[in-house]
Amino acid sequence: MNKKGIWLLNDIKPEHLERLKELAPDHELVNRDDDFPIENIEIVYGWDKIKAEEAGLLETEGQLKWIQVASAGVDYMDLDTLNERSILLTNASGIHSVPIAESVIGMLLAYCRKIQQAVVDQSQHHWREDQRLIELSEKTIMIVGTGNIGKELGRLSKAFNMKTIGINRSGREVEYMDHIFRQPDMIDHLKKADVVVNILPLTSETKAFFDHKMFAEMKEGTLFINVGRGPTVNTEDLIQALDDGKVSFAGLDVFETEPLPENSPLWDRKDVLVTPHISGNAEHYNTRLFNIFEENIQAFVEGEELPRNLVDYDKSY
């Protein structure tokens, strides 16, 4: 009888391979391009849409039971098919919290302390002393999405002596947040914030969540950061808010279309900082991802419920 396979579509360290062999001795570890019966794949570690489609992974009536992706967002996965086939999906939520939170603070400092302008001035050999700089201390930051990333951003914000407002679906209390409001009530509290940070996942409820109505309720000169999902923000409405002065600066790591088209007006705006969807890049990414997988696979081989990061198909995250 053929062994069930674990298809390794994400980079994995040698010591982690050895650990997998210990944890799942009845499974064969299948590398990306190995010749292995696709119907015998039971677990997928990482994801490669092209490879999966070429192999017919989701079209084959095989033994696939669980996919561990290497990202927090799962909007690119065929959630309906996975749900229909009762295939478990776990994400990488939590491993991005440190790098993304640090990236948000970096974007804010780049604008507030004129570091972004200094880079331009240096390239032009221009000495510019007469500048108005902004301090983060005492400013109010609204963190829209208070999961692992939002919580870490709240912790860092407190280190800068900022006041924090958290936004989530339920209104549950979250550490490092001075105040919490429910997502449906957020629009009523926008004027309290000097900084608004979007960390929302992409769902049917959050698509174009930040639109003209939302920007219109912000105070003049709000700083807006998007490290969530690109399509949660209506780009045309954001540009209009920048033109109108409702938003004085936008730090954007994610976009409605990626890569950001060369003809996008965002590239040339001095009030926009563009980073190419890199805020989640972590120095210890693969180790942190394997830690999630390791805990889950121990439960899986014992026939227990997966304890970490199981995606709720009803919520799409």
Per-residue pLDDT of the chain (317 residues; tens, 9 = 90+): 578 999 999 999 999 999 999 999 999 999 999 999 999 999 999 999 999 999 999 999 999 999 999 999 999 999 999 999 999 999 999 999 999 999 999 999 999 999 999 999 999 999 999 899 999 999 999 999 999 999 999 999 999 999 999 999 999 999 999 999 999 999 999 999 999 999 999 999 999 999 999 999 999 999 999 999 999 999 999 999 999 999 999 999 999 999 999 999 999 999 999 999 999 999 999 999 999 999 999 999 999 999 999 999 999 99
Quick one: pLDDT at residue 1?
A: 53
Whether 229 is catalytic is yes
The number of residues in the chain equals 317
d(CA 35, CA 270): 51
Give the per-residue pLDDT at 4: 96
Distances (CA, A) of 27 to 21, 24, 30, 40, 80: 8, 6, 9, 10, 27
pTM of full prediction above 0.85? yes
Catalytic residue (one of 175, 258, 304, 305): 258
- pLDDT at residue 130 in the model: 87
Candidates 3.30.70.20, 3.40.50.720, 3.30.1360.120, 3.40.50.2020; CATH matching 4-94+284-301: 3.40.50.720
Write down the catalytic residue from 16, 42, 229, 256.
229
Strand-pair category, 222-226 with 195-198: parallel
Catalytic-labelled residue, pool 179, 277, 288, 308:
277
Specify whether 155 is catalytic: no
Task: Tell me how far apart the alpha carbons of residues 96 and 36 are, in angstroms, rounded to a whole number.
Answer: 32
- Catalytic residue list contains 258: yes
CA distance 83 to 6: 20
Nearest alpha-carbon partner for 210 in 252, 177, 160: 252
Residue 225, strand partner residues:
197, 251
Longest dimension (CA), the chain: 76
The structural domains of the chain, with segments of one domain joined by +, span 4-94+284-301, 97-274
Q: Which amino acid is at 125?
A: H
Predicted local confidence at residue 44, as pLDDT:
98
Enclosing H/E stretch for 117 = helix 115-123
59's torsion region: left (phi>0), alpha (psi -120 to 50) or beta?
alpha
Tell me which fold the domain 97-274 belongs to. Answer: Rossmann fold (3.40.50)
Position 12 scores a pLDDT of 95
